[in-house]
Amino acid sequence: MTSRDILHMRRAIALAARGLGGTSPNPVVGCVVLDPSGEVAGEGFHAYAGGPHAEVVALRDAGGRARGGTAYVTLEPCAHTGRTGPCATALLEAGVARVVVAVPDPNPVAAGGAEVLRRHGVRVDEGVLTAEAEEGNAAWLTFVRARRPFVTWKFAATMDGRSAASDGTSQWITSPEARADVHRLRAESDAVVAGIGTVLADDPRLTVRPPAGSSAEPSVAPVLRVVADPGARTPAGARVLDGAAPTLVAVAEDAAVPAHLSPVVRIPRVQGGIDLHALLAELHGRRIVSVLVEGGPTLAGAFLREGLVDRVVGYLAPALLGAGAAALGPAGVSTITEIHRLEFASVTPVGPDLKVVLRPKTPAHQSSLPAHPLVTDPLVTDPQVVQSPKES
């Protein structure tokens, strides 16, 4: 690995990030193509599901300068035909002499591009900035390797950890800038999950909205709104049922469901609610790659207790309440040795607030589970699978 390899792969990783929120259920991928002299000839990223892959975009940008050159790709080029042709073939036809790959493709249907290239005389170097590229593609890698959606828990709180005052009021603890950033988080997710307690107390819409004072419409497809409602208590007039975005109500298997709740999915009941593992398995089957948990402290505690939180995003206001609702409910900790310890990923100011991003010490996307035989390439249309509402 040379310093030039690091430089160009880091650029490819930055390009891949431009696709966040648009590529699901596909991965985000970036590509940089150099000409034979080592100058950048083309760049590209995968922008939306069904659209051209990063390699194809970069090769088009490079034109004839790609022949004899080098391509840096954040994910192993695919070797199959889905809604687009194999990227390995595109690289061969362009005459690229060397391909540098950050992450091997864990999808058993799409993998194999590196071997195809090698068989045709292309030099392939793998493992350049793997950890950085995996972090940028954590949601999709979790979806494939851990066989469930990537889960982000978002909360807003005062510096003493309160998400509401003693009388239940909570609007607004954080600033307009922080709330605008939450909408960006939603836009990057396939589904937003809230518990019935939040729906009854706050009547949220859970949609992606433009910043206050802006007339611009969000440039992303609606996320799927999911209500964890074991007893099927979501009122007919709840704003999550307003038709502004798709909604799925997850009820217990034995719940009596009123006529106004549709569609619903029945999930096994467990003590305190519904089986969250089963809920995520249902969403995985619908090709939901990433989930944003915006429910109250009870739902957040349940996700954390079950080991199902892959990222925590907290917005901390420079304020104190001293009493009121805590941001997190019971999370399975009865003694200090059971504490949920995380690592800081970033701490950044957002307006007057702090945005703190944390992750588990062993992320799920680094899971060593064997490839699942039912994992299919998201680019292959499967009429038996209900598609994510964000898929193009």
Q: Catalytic positions, please?
A: 55
Cα distance between residue 142 and residue 122, in whole Å: 30
Residues 6+ apart with CB under 8 A from 135: none
Cα distance between residue 350 and residue 356, in whole Å: 10
Beta strands in the chain (DSSP E): 30-34, 40-45, 70-75, 98-103, 123-126, 150-158, 191-195, 224-228, 247-252, 264-267, 269-270, 273-274, 290-293, 311-317, 342-350, 353-360
Query: For residues 347-361, b (16+ Cβ closer than 10 Å) or e, as one string?
Result: eeebbebbbbbbbbe
Cα distance between residue 315 and residue 355, in whole Å: 5
Nearest to 57 by CA among 101, 22, 12, 116: 12
Cα distance between residue 104 and residue 114, in whole Å: 8
Nearest to 14 by CA among 79, 90, 84, 72: 72
Query: For residues 53-79, b (16+ Cβ closer than 10 Å) or e, as one string?
Result: bbbbbbbebbeebbeebbbbbbbbbbb
Are 210 and 249 within 8 A, CB to CB? no
